[in-house]
Chain A
Amino acid sequence: MKTLNTIKNFLIKNLIVLIFYFISFHSFDVAKQFPDLIIFSFSLHMIIIYFYILKFPDNLGTGHIFFGGVINDVVIGTPLGTSSLSFLVLSFFTAYIRNITLRSKMTSEWIAFIPALFFSNLVYFIVINNFSHLSFYYIELLRNTFFTFLFFPIFYYLFNNFEKKMLKGNA
C-alpha cells in the first residue's frame, strides 16, 4: 500500500513532465486527432513551457524541456536541437518576464506570450532555413502560433486549477 502511494504521489507530482514527454513522443497536434479541425492546430509544448516557467518553475525543469525538444525533433524529422533551442528561447523570455513582473495578472501574462512566441518561432524559422533543406508554408507556422496564443487562457485555468489542487492536497 505504501509503495502504491509512493508511486501515485510520484506520478501526480511529475504529471506535467510526463505529459510533456508524452506529447514530445507523439508530436501532439490537433490536426492528427481531428483531421477536420486542422485549422486549429496549436503547440501544447509552448503553452506548457510558458505557463510552468512563469508560474511554477520548479515543476518543469529546463533539462526536461531540452530532452523533450530533442525527442520532438527526432519524431518530427527536423534537425536535432531545433525544437530544444526554440523551447529554451521561450523559457528564457518567460524567465525574463517572470523576473520583471511585480504583480502577475492573467491578461498581462497572456499579452506577454506574444513576444515570447515571436522570438521562439523566429529561432525555429532561422534554424530550419539555415540548418536544413526543408521548406514549409509560413502561413502554417503563423496559424499554429496564433492558435497557441488564442488557446493559452483555457490551459492557463486548467493548469492553474490543477496546481492549486495539488498544493491544497500537499498542505
Chain B
Amino acid sequence: MADSRDDFIIAIRYALLKKGAKQKFSLIFLISLSILVLALDRLSVPYIISTRSVLNDFVYQVSVVSSQPKKFINYLGNSVKNHYGVIEKNKILGEEVNKLKREYYDSLFLKTENEILKKALSIASIKTNERDIVIPARVILDPESPYLKSLLINKGKNNGVIKGMAVFSDGYLIGRVIKSNFFSARVLLITDLNSKIPVIIQDTDVNGILVGEGKKTDLLLEYTPDEFSPEPNKIIFTSGKDGMLAAGMPVAETYLNKNNKVQIKSLANPRQALIVHVTNGQISR
C-alpha cells in the first residue's frame, strides 16, 4: 500500500519537476507562471493593461500577416464563384433596382408629406448630434471561437476608438467595442451569447433585451411581457435605455421560419463585415 502511494508521488513529482533533454522549463514553473499571468491580468494594474495592449497589437499583426495566404486562396475561390454567378445576380439586381426605385419615389412622397405635416404641427426637425464621431475601420481578423463571437478591427485608442462604442456594417449595428488597444480593438458581435441590447419593437411599445444565440445571425428577445408574442416582418430598434447606444438604430427583424415560427435575425451579417464604422452615436444610412 505504502509502496504504491510512493510510486504515485514519485510519478507526479517526476512529471512536475523533470525537464527533458531539450526542455528549458519545468512544468511546475510554467504552471505557476500561468497562474501569475492570470492574476496580473485580473488585477488590471495600469502598466499591465498597457503591456497587454502592446502584446495584443503585436499578436494581431502577426496573425494578420500569417493569414494572408489563406485569405488569398479564399479570394480566388470567391472570385471564381462570383464569375459564374454574375448573370443570375444581374437579373436579381435588376429586379431589386426597380423595386427600390418604386420605394424611393414612395419615400420621397412620404418625406414631403411628413415635412408639410411637421410644419403644420410646428415641430422642429431633429438634428443629428454634431459631436458624434464616425471612424471607418477594417476588419483584420474574425477569430472563430466556439465561445466568443468577436471581430478585430484595425483602429484603436490612437484613432479615438474607446470601449462601449457602437460598430456598424452596411449601416446596421453589428456589435460594440469591448476592448481597445493602441492600434486595434475587439468588437463583441450582437450574435454573441454575452451581447445584451435594450430594444423596442416596431409598431409596438414593447421593450425587451436582444440577446445573441452564439449562432450565425440568430438572436433572442428576452424580458418582454408574458402576453407578448412577436409578429413576423417587424424591425427591432435600439431603445437607448442602456445609456450607451443611441435610440432608434435598426438591429434585427422578425421572420417566419420553415416551421411557421417567428424568429429573429440580425439585419447585418457580422461574419461578412469587411469595412465597419465605429461611432459613439447614430449613423446615417
Q: What is the interface of chain A, defined by CB distance below 8 A to chain B? A: 22, 25-27, 29, 31-32, 35, 41, 57-58, 61-63, 65-66, 69-71, 74-82, 84-85, 88-89, 91-92, 95-96, 98-100, 127-128, 131, 133-137, 140-141, 144
A76 touches B27 (CB 8 A): no
Give the docked Cα–Cα distance between A57 and B27 (Å).
Answer: 12
Shortest beta-carbon distance, B70 to chain A, in Å? 8
The verdict on A58 contacting B20 (CB below 8 Å), with A84-B37, A85-B35, A96-B15 known, is yes
A25 touches B63 (CB 8 A): yes
* Chain A to chain B contacts (Cβ below 8 Å), 5 pairs: A29-B146, A70-B37, A80-B52, A84-B34, A134-B147
- List the A side residues contacting B45 at CB < 8 Å: none
B147 touches A136 (CB 8 A): yes
B148 touches A140 (CB 8 A): no
Give chain B interface residues in 1-52, CB to chain A under 8 Å: 7, 11-12, 14-16, 18, 20-27, 30-31, 33-38, 40-42, 52
Max count, chain B CB within 10 A of own CB: residue among A25, A29, A31, A71:
A25
- Report how many residues on chain B are interfacial, defined by Cβ distance under 8 Å: 50
Max count, chain B CB within 10 A of own CB: residue among A81, A84, A96, A140:
A81
Q: What is the interface of chain B, defined by CB distance below 8 A to chain A? A: 7, 11-12, 14-16, 18, 20-27, 30-31, 33-38, 40-42, 52, 55-56, 59-60, 62-63, 66-67, 70, 141, 143-148, 150, 179, 186, 193-194, 214, 216
A29 touches B20 (CB 8 A): no
Query: What would 13 more interface pairs be, CB under 8 Å, given A76-B148, A81-B41?
Result: A27-B145, A57-B20, A57-B23, A58-B20, A61-B22, A74-B60, A76-B143, A80-B41, A88-B34, A95-B18, A99-B11, A100-B11, A134-B148
Give the docked Cα–Cα distance between A76 and B24 (Å).
Answer: 27
Point out the residue from A84, A134, A144 that lies within 8 Å of B194, measured CB to CB.
A134
- List the B side residues contacting A98 at CB < 8 Å: 15
Give the docked Cα–Cα distance between A66 and B26 (Å).
Answer: 11
B22 touches A75 (CB 8 A): no
Give the docked Cα–Cα distance between A76 and B30 (Å).
Answer: 21
Rank and list the top 4 A-B pairs by shortest CB-CB distance, nearest first: A32-B144, A81-B37, A95-B15, A81-B38
B194 touches A63 (CB 8 A): no
- List the A side residues contacting B179 at CB < 8 Å: 77
Give the docked Cα–Cα distance between A80 and B34 (Å).
Answer: 8
Shortest beta-carbon distance, A54 to chain B, in Å? 12
Max count, chain A CB within 10 A of own CB: residue among B7, B31, B70:
B31
Residue of B nearest to A86 (CB): B34
Number of A-B contacts (CB under 8 A): 145
Shortest beta-carbon distance, B11 to chain A, in Å? 4
Point out the residue from B30, B42, B62 that lies within 8 Å of A62, measured CB to CB.
B30
Residue of B nearest to A25 (CB): B63
A79 touches B42 (CB 8 A): yes
- List the A side residues contacting B63 at CB < 8 Å: 25-26, 75
Give the docked Cα–Cα distance between A27 and B63 (Å).
Answer: 10
Max count, chain A CB within 10 A of own CB: residue among B20, B30, B143:
B30
- List the B side residues contacting A25 at CB < 8 Å: 59, 62-63, 66-67
- List the B side residues contacting A69 at CB < 8 Å: 34
- List the B side residues contacting A76 at CB < 8 Å: 143, 145, 147-148
Give the docked Cα–Cα distance between A69 and B59 (Å).
Answer: 12
Shortest beta-carbon distance, A33 to chain B, in Å? 9
Residue of B nearest to A41 (CB): B146
Give the docked Cα–Cα distance between A81 and B63 (Å).
Answer: 18
Give the docked Cα–Cα distance between A128 and B194 (Å).
Answer: 13
- List the A side residues contacting B70 at CB < 8 Å: 26
Shortest beta-carbon distance, A27 to chain B, in Å? 5
Shortest beta-carbon distance, A88 to chain B, in Å? 5
Shortest beta-carbon distance, A140 to chain B, in Å? 4
Give the docked Cα–Cα distance between A76 and B149 (Å).
Answer: 9
B148 touches A78 (CB 8 A): yes
Shortest beta-carbon distance, B119 to chain A, in Å? 50
Point out the residue from B11, B30, B147 that lies within 8 Å of A140, measured CB to CB.
B147
Point out the residue from B20, B35, B150 that lies within 8 Å of A81, measured CB to CB.
B35
B24 touches A61 (CB 8 A): yes
